[in-house]
A and B are shown apart, each in its own frame.
Chain A
Amino acid sequence: MEDFLSFNYNELTAIKLSLKVALCSILVTLPFGVLCGYILARFSFKGKILLDSLVNLPLILPPVITGYLLLLTFGKNGYIGKYLYDLFNISFAFNWKGAVLASAVVSFPLMVRAIRVAIEQVDPSYEKVAATLGASKLKVFFTVIIPLAMNGIIAGTVTAFARSLGEFGATITFVSNIPGKTNTIPIEIYSLIQNPSSADASIIKLVTISIIIAFLSLMLSELFVRKTTVSSKDR
């Protein structure tokens, strides 16, 4: 047990890859998540239920189906992937960018949910006051709505980050298990379990790391959610 904190090359690669994928995933989704949460919180329009359902679909869809749909759409011969590759030389197939895409799609609903709730809690009369002071809708968005919903935005981002770290089904379906490229922590654990002779110590270490990160993320997110409710009472 003394070498518990020392990782071998494979373990380290999996941990680094997981963090990189999860980090990129939230960076890519954050602007869309804020925009989507804002639209769902503040506007009513035809097709709102459709948008709402579409955003939340990956939450209840079996991840393997999400992964398969991504393969159909963004694979090298996919409906969109084909053009992305021909025109911009961008490919999501069997590389870490694909893992980012899969994580982003799966964690997106969690992020939007938290942000939407936070924006719904912002008293709309602050927006009206800002407008009477000459602020355009854009200025109101950045100087009133975002700061007042900030705790919820952070909480949603942290939750999405944790969810991204745990992404397995959609990722392995979409980009498979390629050592050093797409074997994030869950996928590395899965392949270690497949091989009966493999070292149990590796599995335990990766499992522990996963639990610690997930636990810290949830606590952090809970902390921000609590701060939000306290400060909105304060107003």
Chain B
Amino acid sequence: MNTIDIKIKKQLGINTFNYTVKIDEFDILGVFGNSGVGKSTFINMIAGIIKPDFGYIKISDRVLFDSQNKINIPIHQRNIGVIFQDTKLFPHLSVKSNLLYGCKRETGCRSSSGDKNDINFDNVVSILDIEPLLNRKPNKLSGGEKSRVAIGRAILSRPKLLLMDEPNASLDSSKKEQLLDLYKVMATEFNIPTIFVTHSKDELKKISKQIIIIEDFSIKAIIPSDTL
């Protein structure tokens, strides 16, 4: 069961961030809000990049943060993949090395079973259709290609949760459509619960059924996407 149980508070300058949300089942969860209302802060707190002042974060019954019991799992042990707006591919590594960066040493991301839904290098590369790019450096890729490599890199680290922070913001609309489908395929094919953040209603309607609305640094509502 993919569940979310969050109740956190954070004071940053004059702004108080206050997020309370409990969701019992989701595959792709949308997060909607205009820019500057605290969407990224929400994501960064789940990922462990920003530490909340009070409260707790539980994802699928795993406690990632709990101020009362002094639990704060460090970023690298949370097993949460993050896709940032500007992909942040490592510029000194080839596409192939970027993809393999998060692989656990025992498996090396090689195929371990014949299972079609198994997360391994060959599967991910073929679904994303990035075979011809493997030996290139990131500065030789287009925006859409970078996005595809970034999602591949995150998936190959076998995350328990995937956070996407406006991954399409810098792309033109024809590419967006394609990638949106691809995100959906990746999340369902490999069975990775995903939180998708954007300020585009159209994108959310296409990709997720449930949507969290963020306004003024706190969660205002959880609604089905067709009522957005």
Contact = CB atoms under 8 A, between A and B. Distances in A.
A135 B88 contact: no
Interface size classification for chain A = 20 to 34
A48 interface: no
B76 A134 contact: yes
Nearest to A123: B88
Interface stretch (B78-86, B111-119, B186-194): B78-86
A132 B91 contact: no
Nearest to A131: B75
Contacts of B75: 128, 131-132
A189 to B, nearest CB: 43
Contacts, number: 56
B157 A234 contact: no
A148 B91 CA distance: 8
A14 to B, nearest CB: 40
A1 interface: no
B64 interface: no
Contacts of A235: 91, 139
B76 A135 contact: yes
Contact of A129 (B77, B79, B84, B92): B84
Contacts of A134: 76-77, 79, 102, 104, 157
A137 B154 CA distance: 18
A146 to B, nearest CB: 10
A144 B92 CA distance: 8
B152 to A, nearest CB: 12
Interface in B67-111: 74-82, 84, 88, 90-92, 101-102, 104
Nearest to B156: A133
Contacts of B185: none
Interface residues of B, number: 24
A134 B158 CA distance: 10
Q: Which of B77, B92, B104 has the most CB of A within 10 A?
A: B92
A64 B80 CA distance: 56
B76 A126 contact: no
A156 to B, nearest CB: 18
A125 interface: yes
Given A125-B84, A128-B75, A235-B139, A133 B91 contact: no
B47 interface: yes
A69 interface: no
Interface string A100-140: 00000000000000000000000101101111111111000
A126 B88 contact: yes
A88 B61 CA distance: 56
A137 B74 CA distance: 10
B228 interface: no
A131 B78 CA distance: 9
A132 B92 CA distance: 18
A231 interface: yes
A64 B79 CA distance: 55
Contacts of A123: 88
A62 interface: no
Interface in B169-204: none
Interface string A202-235: 0000000000000000000000000000010011
23 contacts: A123-B88, A126-B88, A128-B49, A130-B101, A131-B74, A132-B47, A132-B76, A132-B80, A132-B81, A132-B154, A133-B81, A133-B102, A133-B153, A134-B76, A134-B79, A134-B104, A135-B76, A143-B101, A144-B90, A147-B92, A231-B91, A234-B91, A234-B139
Interface of A: 123, 125-126, 128-137, 143-144, 147-148, 231, 234-235
